[in-house]
């Protein structure tokens, strides 16, 4: 009986630990994906901004030096880079964050799915904690019951 109870408590503690580990893993995935996504977004914007300034400088030099139509092509390319920056900012979740979530978890594809899995893992941890608390309360009640029973028998026999 005692060994059975100890094994049951051990299994509950193991399940509770696994649930807490899953919560930690999912929180870590969310944090790492956001950090890496933000890093890649900033890296892309910096590269595009450098390219934009380079093409704008070439365009201004061509305009001032020769008044030739070469600057028009440079401005078109500069405008293309501006559009790329805008698309990178508007689609940052799809382009940067979600690929890292998918890469790190191999099952979850979006932030919403990650949040749902995190909530599920937190709920599992709470459920395991409540089960353990109930087991401890039941064991305490049984122990108290037997202790009071022995005390009453002792008092009835010797008093």
Q: What is the pLDDT along the chain (159 residues), one digit of tens a residue?
A: 567 777 877 787 788 778 778 888 887 887 777 777 777 887 888 888 888 878 777 776 676 666 656 666 666 667 777 888 898 889 888 877 777 667 666 666 677 777 787 788 788 788 877 887 887 788 788 888 888 888 888 888 887
The torsion of the CA quartet 138, 140, 144, 145, rounded to 10 degrees, works out to: 20
Q: What is the pTM of this model?
A: 0.45
Q: Let me know how long the chain is.
A: 159
Q: What angle do CA 28, 14, 101 make, to 5 degrees?
A: 20
113-to-93, 109, 156 alpha-carbon distances in Å: 13, 7, 64
């Amino acid at each position: 009986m005692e060994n059975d109870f100890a094994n049951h408590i051990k299994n509950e503690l193991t399940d509770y630990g696994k649930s807490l580990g899953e919560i930690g893993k999912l929180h870590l995935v969310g944090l790492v994906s956001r950090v890496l996504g933000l890093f890649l977004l900033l890296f892309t914007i910096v590269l595009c901004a450098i390219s934009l300034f380079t093409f704008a400088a070439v365009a201004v030099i061509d305009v001032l030096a020769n008044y030739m139509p070469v600057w028009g092509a440079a401005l078109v390319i500069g405008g293309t880079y501006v559009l790329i920056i805008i698309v990178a900012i508007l689609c940052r979740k799809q382009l940067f964050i979600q690929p890292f979530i998918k890469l790190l978890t191999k099952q979850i594809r979006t932030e919403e799915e990650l949040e749902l899995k995190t909530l599920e893992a937190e709920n599992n941890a709470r459920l395991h904690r409540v089960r353990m608390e109930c087991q401890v309360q039941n064991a305490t009640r049984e122990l108290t019951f037997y202790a009071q029973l022995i005390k009453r028998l002792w008092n009835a026999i010797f008093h």
